[in-house]
Amino acid sequence: MPLADLLGDTAQAAITYLDSARKRRVDAVATCAEIVRRLPERLPEQGEAPREVLHRMIDDFDDGLVTSTGGRFYGWVVGGSHPVAVAADWLTSAWDQLATMPDSSPAAAAAERVSLSWLLDLLGLPSSASAAFVTGAQMANFTGLAAARHAVLSAAGWDVERDGLFGAPRITVLAGRERHITIDGALRYLGLGSGCVTPVDVDDQGRVEPDAFASLLAQVDGPLIVCLGAGNVNTGAFDPFTELIPLARQRDAWVHIDGAFGLWAAASPMCRELTRGAELADSWAVDLHKWLNVPYDSAVVAVRDRQAHAAALGVVANYVASPGDDVVQFHLAPEFSRRARAFPAYATLRSLGRTGVAALVDRCCALAREAAALLDDIPGVTVCNDVVLNQVLVRFADPEATARILAAVRAGGEAFLTASAWQGQPVMRVAVSNWQTTSEDIARMAAAVRQAVQT
């Protein structure tokens, strides 16, 4: 079976799918259980021709696909892949590089080095920081907090990499009550336990209250890590970094910022003010698969203290380079063997340029404001956050209506929205983070919500 036929066919199927994304219904038709029933229960004894397998896959899976890559998907915070990112991702698979070290792929290492340096610049982070590609903000938070754990324990005279946590000085973590759950996950993986978090009170947008923060700072002693957020997952709000970080500094705390999607605001001259002071932190997490619109899974962690970063993550083996030999990515990320995630990031950054990334962020924010205005106009619908970024939170007159309205909109196929809870009440969330979304898409979504509210 000629390679050109297999890959050519597959490219054609991918093009057909992506071309249809504007028109397709957004939610899937088939359920997971229905699809499983179509597939062989047991691994076939004899293999099948690759082309046949691919065609069957398309038939079997197509109606179970959620068109999250299209412009009418507003669930969670899922950016649809940019065409240049998809194309570069195809090359990444075809090239199949081991991005572990420059020796295993000079090309992947070069793409990483250049795109990481572009990203630090674009996001207003120190150019001297060390940075690495990881799979998502969960692992970026994990990696930043691993460096934090190293640094605060090392300052207390404890070598956590050698001696682990048994008998170690206790670390306190201060984080807002509305922090993302992946902060707690990272703290669990690091052996600190989510119980090490002292939650800090937040305001009505989910931002850490400086007075509450200062008063807790005065009460804790010992090694301290502070976790702040750039872009609350519900409201899009930013913690007041310029007030909080200098206070944390006085206590020699390590400050980590979860900026999974919100840190992209720094790339836009119009939104940058929201991130003011973020550059004062010690480590940062940002997703590329969200607002840079590259395919899953791609994120970056950056750490101001290169030595703490490498000390926390670096490993030594007699058959690979040692920490310090070069900028070797496996000393900075949890994975050892790694996909060359930098290629799609490099291609997307180069294709959009600085102004293109800013325009993507600005367009999504403008569309979120349009969505808020249209939704707020529907009787019985209230927008309950300040729409400062790309997130819109909507409350319905009757709290029980949220699930019914979401289900009706999804069943209609016009838009895909997800539920959340805000201040103890069920809400609907609209996240705009796709390069394709247009005003017309937003109007279709709002019309679908209006219809669901009125029936």
Footprint of ligand PLP (CB under 6 A):
76-77, 136-138, 180, 182, 231, 233, 258, 260-261, 287, 299
Phi, psi of 260 (to 5 degrees): -40, -50
Identity of the residue, 133 or 396, whose beta carbon is nearer to ligand PLP in the bound complex: 133
Rounded to a whole number of angstroms, the minimum distance from the CB of residue 417 to ligand PLP is: 15
Q: How far is the CB of 67 from ligand PLP (least distance, A)?
A: 19
Tokens of 427: 């809400």
- What is d(CA 442, CA 448) in angstroms, rounded to the nearest whole number? 10
* Shortest Å distance, C-beta 429 to ligand PLP: 11
For ligand PLP, which is the closer residue by CB, 67 or 182? Answer: 182
The span from the CA of 213 to the CA of 226, in Å, is 10
Q: What's the CA gap between 123 and 37, in Å, rounded?
A: 46
Report in angstroms how near the CB of residue 420 gets to ligand PLP at its nearest. Answer: 11
**Residue with smaller CB distance to ligand PLP, 231 or 344:** 231
Helix axes 83-95, 342-376, angle to 10 degrees: 150
Query: Where does residue 209 fall: left (phi above 0), alpha (psi -120 to 50 degrees), or beta otherwise?
Result: beta
Give min distance, CB of 410 to ligand PLP, in A. 19
Smallest gap from residue 138 Cβ to ligand PLP (A): 3
Question: Packing angle between helix 3-20 and helix 83-95, nearest 10 degrees?
Answer: 160
Taking residue 2's Cβ as centre, other Cβ atoms within 10 Å add up to 8
> CB within 8 A of 221, min separation 6: which ones?
none
In angstroms, what is the minimal distance from the CB of 187 to ligand PLP?
13
Q: Which is nearer to ligand PLP, 105 or 115 (CB)?
A: 115
Strands annotated E in 137-223: 172-176, 197-200
Choose between 147 and 453: whose C-beta lies nearer to ligand PLP: 147
Question: Residue number with the shortest CB distance to ligand PLP?
Answer: 136
Q: Please name the residue that has the structure tokens 């949890």.
A: 334
Nearer to ligand PLP, 137 or 196 (CB): 137
What's the min distance (Å) between Cβ of 385 and ligand PLP?
Answer: 14
Nearer to ligand PLP, 77 or 88 (CB): 77
Whole-angstrom CA distances from 289 to 197, 306, 356 are 28, 25, 16
Structure tokens at 252: 């020699």
Q: What is the largest CA-CA distance in the chain?
A: 70
Token digits of residue 400: 């029980």
